[in-house]
Amino acid sequence: MSIIVQKFGGSSVADAEKIHRAARRAIKAKLDGHQVVMVVSAMGKTTDKLVALAHEVNPNPPRREMDMLLTTGEQVSISLMAMAIQAAGHEAISFTGGQIGMITDASHTRARIRSIDADRIHRELDAGRIVIVAGFQGVTEEGALTTLGRGGSDTTAVALAAVLRAVCEIYTDVDGVYTTDPRIVPQARKMKEINYDEMLELASLGAKVMHSRSIEFGKKYNVPIHVRSSLTDTEGTMIVAQTAGMEDIVVRGVTLKRDLARVILIGVPNQPGIASRIFARIAENKLVVDDIIQNIVEHASEANIGFTTSKADAREARMVCEQLAREIGVRSVELDEDLAKVSIVGVGMKTHTGVAAKMFQALADARINIQNITTSEIVISCIVAAADGEKAVQVLHRAFELDKEQ
Ligand code: ADP
Ligand code: ASP
Ligand code: MG
């Protein structure tokens, strides 16, 4: 019997009526002859509210206690979902991450999955139950509660689909993956399909519709992922290994990563080993660096070394750098907290020329200043002022004609 993993995001379980709607979908899949595992997120904006509450109590909440707090959100949804299914006359059982052996490392608030014990789930499925699993959470070998990073329920779902050899359906508040966030560009177009590599870049660069780690699992274990609306039956977007005419489309999507900050160490001695010391210290403090920027000044005797990071980590990063600055003799440490990154993504860039020039021209025509540029084989990213972020997405979406049929 085939297994389906159905994941419902926060807005798809935001109230009792939506919980019933999700429950009906799972029941229908069961009646169609599948074994069904549901992964659910916390209701509506629960996680945001818990984060805000934590900061009211402690401006710098310890990560372990954050996980203890945030995992409660998903526990509410799983129990209510099981009740809804039982109220409709079907058997269901809910599990926390720990109960189904979702073992992670100990990096609180951004833990990585190490292993999943599928036996318990199989037993319940074989007994004819719909199994409901709390998204976003796991447990360390020692039993501490962990979370997988904001948006991490997608990763729970795809990782479960991988170990259960199931297909994965992601039910959300949009009916698929679009060429960019439809909230920023209403003319954005839904893609019928997209390959793992492009989706991984879109997700890592800000397309919140999928958590990027989920796509890494999808790619590694070749899990077919269907992103679709929880409110309609419209076909969504299939995320798969290969799509037709992949290289013909130069730019598949535009993304915006908000809430970026940049820390710059000014006047760093330009000597071998300094960059390694800086970034070793950053890593020791478990701070995640986005891009690194280095430029040489003052007849090559000094350099400026900077990096972008999330706004949430920026102050801690500055503190770590200030301490280091005293140790290695850096002139000053600066922090800019109002940045965003706009990126274009497409496998076709590998075989087409002039893409970067077109991107920079479009931004220049809109009088948007580019503060830093990074490229890879299938991505070009520009750091811009936060206030220019949405406009940058709009002009790039138009410049690459993503609103037209490809
Ligand atoms: P869920 O709570 O179901 O996990 P999310 O809010 O995490 O939902 O993700 C869905 C949202 O992602 C959409 O409402 C949309 O605004 C945003 N989004 C950003 N980029 C894209 C994109 N390229 N395609 C579709 N949605 C996107
Ligand atoms: N509830 C968590 C969050 O809001 C996980 C998720 O929704 O995927 O980040
Ligand atoms: Mg999400």
- Give me the percent of the chain exceeding a pLDDT of 70: 99
- Ligand 1: residue whose CA is nearest its atom 4: 9
Q: Which residues have CB under 6 Å of ligand 1?
A: 9-12, 41, 151, 172-174, 177-178, 180-181, 183, 207-209, 253
Q: What is the β-pairing status of strands 167-172 and 145-147? A: unpaired
Q: What are the phi and psi torsion angles at 233 (to 5°)?
A: -105, 10
Q: Is the CB of 270 under 6 A from ligand 2?
A: no
The pLDDT score that the predictor gives to residue 244 is 79
Instruction: Give the pLDDT score at 294.
Output: 85
Nearest-Å Rg of the Cα atoms of the chain is 23
Angstrom distance (rounded) from CA 209 to CA 199: 10
> Could you report the per-residue pLDDT of 351-361, keeping only the tens digit for each?
888 999 999 99
- Write the CB contacts of 306 (distance below 8 Å, at least 6 apart in sequence): 262, 263, 264, 265, 292, 293, 294
Residue-averaged pLDDT of the chain: 95
Q: Which ligand neighbours the alpha carbon of 174 most closely?
A: 1
CA distance 108 to 144: 9
Spatial separation of the C-alpha atoms in residues 55 and 312, rounded to whole Å: 12
**In the structure, what pLDDT confidence band is assigned to residue 308 with cuts at 50, 70 and 90?**
very high
pLDDT beyond 70 at 32: yes
The maximal CA–CA distance of the chain, rounded, in angstroms, is 77
pLDDT tens digits for range 152-196: 999 999 999 999 999 999 999 999 999 999 999 999 999 999 999
CA atoms of 335 and 207, how far apart (whole Å): 25
High-pLDDT (> 90) share of the chain, %: 88
State if residue 47 touches ligand 2 by the CB under 6 angstroms criterion: yes
CATH top class, domain 3-242: alpha beta
**Tokens for 68?**
């203890």
Residue tagged 């025509």 (tokens): 365
Topology of domain 262-337, CATH: Alpha-Beta Plaits (3.30.70)
Atom number of ligand 1 nearest to Cα 9: 3
CATH of domain 340-399: 3.30.2130.10
Atom 5, ligand 2: residue with shortest CA distance:
151
Q: Which residues share a beta bridge with 8?
A: 40, 171
Average pLDDT over residues 260-271: 93
Cβ contacts of 50 within 8 Å, gap of 6 or more: 42, 69, 70, 72, 73
Q: Which atom of ligand 1 approaches the CA of 207 most closely?
A: 20
Confidence check: pLDDT of 266 > 80: yes
Name the DSSP class of 279. Answer: H
Q: Which of 156, 172, 190 to mutate to test the pocket of ligand 1 (most atoms within 8 A of CB)?
A: 172
CA 112 to chain centre: 13
d(CA 253, CA 380): 11
Q: Sketch the domain layout of the chain as residue ranges.
A: 3-242, 262-337, 340-399
pLDDT digits (tens, 9 = 90+) for 91-116: 999 999 999 999 999 999 999 999 99
Closest to 190 measured CA to CA, from 202, 200, 168, 175: 175
The pLDDT value given to residue 298: 63
Same fold across 3-242 and 262-337: no
Task: Kindly identify the ligand whose nearest atom is closest to the C-alpha of 66.
Answer: 2
| Cβ 236 under 6 angstroms from ligand 2 | no
**Secondary structure letter of residue 288 according to DSSP:** P
Rounded distance between C-alpha atoms, residue 29 and residue 233, angstroms:
13
Give pLDDT tens digits for 42-81: 999 999 999 999 999 998 899 999 999 999 999 999 999 9
Contact yes or no for 265/321 (Cβ under 8 A) = yes
- Strands 193-195 and 3-8, sheet pairing: unpaired
Question: Is-contact 196 223, C-beta < 8 A?
Answer: no
Ligand in nearest proximity to the CA of 76: 2
